Chain A
Amino acid sequence: MIRLDSVSYAYPHTGKPALTDLSLSIGKGQCVMVTGPSGAGKTTLCLASAGILAHEYGGKKEGTVMIDGRDVKSYKDLSDIASNLGIVFDDPEAQLIFTTVEEEILSALERRGLQVEEIEDRLRAIMELTKLSGLKDRAPHTLSGGQKQRLVLAVTLCLGTGILILDEPTSELDEHGTDGILGILKGLKAQGRTILLVEHKFTRMREIVDTLIVMEDGHIRASGIPDEVILDPAIRKIVLPNFTGIRERTQNAGETVSSEPLIVVKGLTHTYGTDIHALRTIDLTISSGEFIAIVGENGSGKTTLIKHLNGLLKATAGFVSVKGKDTSKTTITELARDVGLVFQNPDHMFFADTVRLEVAFGVDNLKIPDRDEVIDHALMRVRLTHAKDLYPRWLSRGERQRLAIACVLAMQPAVIVLDEPTTGLDGKEAREVMEVLKELQLAGHTVIIVTHSMEIAQNCADRVITMENGSILSDVCTTGERS
């Protein structure tokens, strides 16, 4: 259904090719999963396979791409290609145009030249398949990440194509959201659709994958039956995240944990508006030098809790203190000296022209002495010294995540809090980030991560706090139950 013959491509104004002599053939009804480090060319492969590179992009192109037995260049335009192939990009927000779920799906259905009755039937069927029936009047910005991605998939299914290309559809989703997408993909595979899936979550998707392709530097490093491909230890490292051994490295870190409480949370309650109870009477004590993972589904209150630690949110009731300072009476700038917060999407913070200037921003804001040494040291800690003069947005996703950590690290806070630090990273990059965080703990920082992954929590943290519906469900450390 899709065939690439010796395809090479370089984006305009870049010397380095994004794809190099890449050949690939996907048969009817097959599900092919492509994985690899960020910057390996996975998204470019999606664009090439969908004929988008041929029709919409400049740059240096070589080789042939066939969709459904026809050269992509013989299709009139993207709309013509879309009658054979549907594509879902990783950012659902950019693919939603209208203001309600039903409108969005209808707007795609009515452009296919179908009869009114057929449109209404398809609308019902697609809404059921993607479990969106109960959300038909909701606006896109009020949907969760998983719901948004299901909606984008629903709109793509409206095209009724036999081929689907999905570029990291679950990268921003929690376990529950990923389950939703996996369920739909299983149904589509059973219908005989051809699927090209770019993903990092191999373990979750394994049951639907017929062929696994591992990309690196614009070419295919390995390809074949999944179980055979992952026999190679180097490939296994990329495909299967492995965090074992990270916590053990900190066995002696117990010595750095002090009994002195660093953060004290008492009876913390937070209500958004009048009726959304995000946190319900949380009690928590965190000591200096701990490595804590906060886990829980979306909406369980994890992010709301960590935003209280640096004063971004003020308690509706209760009390939070950091190093003895009441956060309700301390400014955010003052608290930033003690608690550094790295948000989920590093692109929400980058604005400077170079990596070095980006790190300097926080250092200058807090007027930290020995500015240059502090910045260099932070970049060295996250292994980004080589990139110090580059434009931050040119870095790979894994490097951008480490830069975000450096920005906060350079402000020398005692506590570093990270919201989903491994989002969108492959196994190797995710491990690198977690190793950096462990090193920070060994250097005396208190590290708190919010994560959906129990694997990361159990293999990296010394203490795992599970949240549900705004309350702490369990608080477990390696030595047993805490509360």
Chain B
Amino acid sequence: MTEILQYVQKEGFFHRLAPLTKILFVITVGIMSIVSTSIPFLAGVIIVLLVIACIAGLHREVIRQFLLIAVMSVILIVITVITLPGGQTLFVIGGIIPITTGGILIGIVMTLRFAVLITAIQLFVLSTQPRDLVHTLERMRVPVDYTLMFVIALRFIPTLQIEGNRIHEAQLARGYNPGSGVGGKIRSIAPVMVPLVSNSLARSNVLGLTIDLRGYRTKIRTPLRERHLMQMDYAVIVVLALAFAVFTYSAWIQLV
């Protein structure tokens, strides 16, 4: 089973950064990719992120997710091209849907943005222990309920994958054959999703009690094995600030 968005135990450069630095990294890269509409810039950011992934020793995990990105990209491009026509019309499908240069360009920009965001978030999640993340967000005054919601959502991805697979097998053993393709996926919703959701809801009750019993909602916490900003963190923050400054300046020049 391929694990999605799970912390990977490694000693890479990204693992050594403090969670706060990595949060700043995700925010900076996120803002730049959302503001920019330049295809070469966005493609450049993806290359930089892949280089960082290689240096951090996370390239295998990051590249594995590219299949998901490829599938989502195709869907994004198709939806954008159909719904946002603009510029020159290249050809018309079935006499109704115009395929335009503008639509294609916006589709490519959206896809690249999506790839940048997914890759940046992945680098962050793969290299940050949830406990460190909880501490950092707590220090940033994010309410603990929201922090735990995020951490628990990540933690339960593999559990739900395993359970979904078991349920699917149990239904196959009952002669169930939903067929392949989109139709099959829709038909499999009730027999697979209903047990999956019912079991998860039953589990959420115990999970809620566990959180309360362990005292996460109390503000008491012994500072233990804290991740403080080190020299490398300051260096990365300076690089991020410079990159952001250059980006803002270029955007401003273009606007003028």
Interface residues of A (CB under 8 A from B): 52, 56, 77-79, 81-82, 86-87, 89, 91, 93-100, 103, 106-116, 119, 137, 139-141, 155, 159, 307, 310, 312, 331-333, 336-337, 340-341, 343, 345, 347-351, 361-362, 365-366, 393, 407-408, 411
Q: Is the CB of A111 within 8 A of B163?
A: no
Task: For the complex, give the distance between the alpha carbons of A78 and B206 in Å.
Answer: 13
User: When the two chains form their complex, are residues B166 and A348 in contact, meaning their CB atoms are under 8 A apart?
Assistant: yes
- Do residues B129 and A103 form an inter-chain contact, with CB atoms below 8 A? yes
Our pick among A100, A112, A115, A349 for the contact of B7 (Cβ within 8 Å) is A100
How many angstroms from the CA of A349 to the CA of B198 in the assembled complex?
A: 11
Beta-carbon contact of A119 and B224 below 8 Å = yes
Beyond A140-B155, A312-B172, A332-B172, is A155–B131 a contact (Cβ under 8 Å)?
A: no
Q: Do B131 and A141 touch (CB < 8 A)?
A: no
**Quick check: is B171 within 8 A (CB to CB) of the other chain?**
yes
Do B214 and A111 touch across chains, with their CB atoms under 8 A apart?
A: yes
Contact B210 A94 (CB under 8 A): yes
Contact of B222 among A110, A343, A366 (CB under 8 A): A110
Q: Are B131 and A98 neighbours in the complex by a CB distance under 8 Å?
A: yes
User: A113's closest neighbor in chain B, by CB?
Assistant: B220
Q: B173 touching A343 by the CB < 8 A rule? A: yes
Most chain-B Cβ atoms within 10 A of its Cβ — which of A108, A139, A307?
A139
CA distance in complex: A307, B198 (Å): 25
Q: Is the Cβ of A97 less than 8 Å from the Cβ of B198? A: no
Expressed in whole angstroms, the Cα–Cα distance for A111 and B216 within the complex equals 7
Q: Which of B83-91, B112-120, B188-196 contacts A (4 or more CB under 8 A)?
A: B188-196
Asked whether, in the complex, the Cβ of A99 is within 8 Å of the Cβ of B190, the reply is no
**Residue of B129, B154, B174, B211 with most chain A CB atoms under a 10 A cut-off:** B174
Shortest B208–chain A CB gap in Å is: 8
The reply to whether B167 and A348 form a contact with Cβ atoms under 8 Å apart is yes
Cα distance A155–B162 when bound, in Å? 24
With a cutoff of 8 Å between Cβ atoms, the chain B residues found around residue A349 in the complex are 167, 170-171, 174, 195
Assess A310 versus B173: contact at CB under 8 Å? Given A94-B207, A107-B214, A349-B167.
yes
Q: Which 8 A-B pairs have the closest CB atoms?
A: A351-B194, A365-B175, A336-B175, A94-B206, A362-B174, A94-B203, A78-B212, A79-B215
With A112-B222, A114-B222, A347-B198 given, can you name 6 additional A-B contacts, CB distance below 8 Å? Answer: A79-B214, A91-B203, A98-B151, A99-B6, A103-B131, A362-B174
Q: Which residues of A contact B207 (CB under 8 A)?
A: 94-95, 97
**Contact A111 B220, beta carbon cutoff 8 Å:** yes
Q: How large, as a class, is the contact surface on chain B?
A: 35 or more
B225 is an interface residue with CB less than 8 A from chain A: yes
Type the 1/0 row for B69-110, where 1 means its CB is closer than 8 Å to any CB of A: 000000000000000000000000000000000000000000
Asked if B148 is at the interface of the complex by the 8 Å CB criterion, the answer is: yes
Digitize B1-37: 1 where CB-to-A-CB distance is under 8 Å, 0 elsewhere. 0000011010000000000000000000000000000
Cβ of B38 within 8 Å of any chain A Cβ, yes or no, is no
Q: Give the number of residue pairs across the A-B interface with Cβ within 8 Å.
A: 168
Binding site for A on B (CB under 8 A): 6-7, 9, 129-131, 134, 148, 151-152, 154-155, 158-159, 162-163, 166-167, 169-177, 190-191, 194-195, 198-199, 203-204, 206-207, 209-218, 220-225
Contact pick for A333, options B7, B163, B177, B199, CB 8 Å: B177
* Minimum CB distance partner of B210 in chain A: A95
Are the CB atoms of A107 and B131 closer together than 8 Å? Answer: yes
Q: Which residues of B contact A351 (CB under 8 A)?
A: 190-191, 194-195, 198
Q: How far is the CA of A81 from the CA of B213 in the complex (A)?
A: 8
Cα–Cα, bound, A307→B173 (Å): 9
Contact between B7 and A99, CB atoms less than 8 A apart: yes
A83's nearest neighbour on chain B, judged by CB, is: B215
**Across-interface contacts of B195 in A (CB, < 8 A):** 347-351
Query: Given that A91-B203, A111-B221, A393-B198 are known contacts, is A333 also in contact with B175, CB under 8 Å in the complex?
Result: yes
Closest to B214 in A: A108
Q: Which residues of A contact B194 (CB under 8 A)?
A: 351
11 contacts between A and B (CB under 8 A): A78-B209, A107-B214, A111-B218, A140-B159, A155-B214, A307-B169, A349-B170, A349-B171, A350-B195, A351-B198, A366-B175
Chain B residues positioned under 8 Å from A350 (CB to CB):
195, 198
Nearest Cβ on chain A to B148's Cβ, whole angstroms: 7
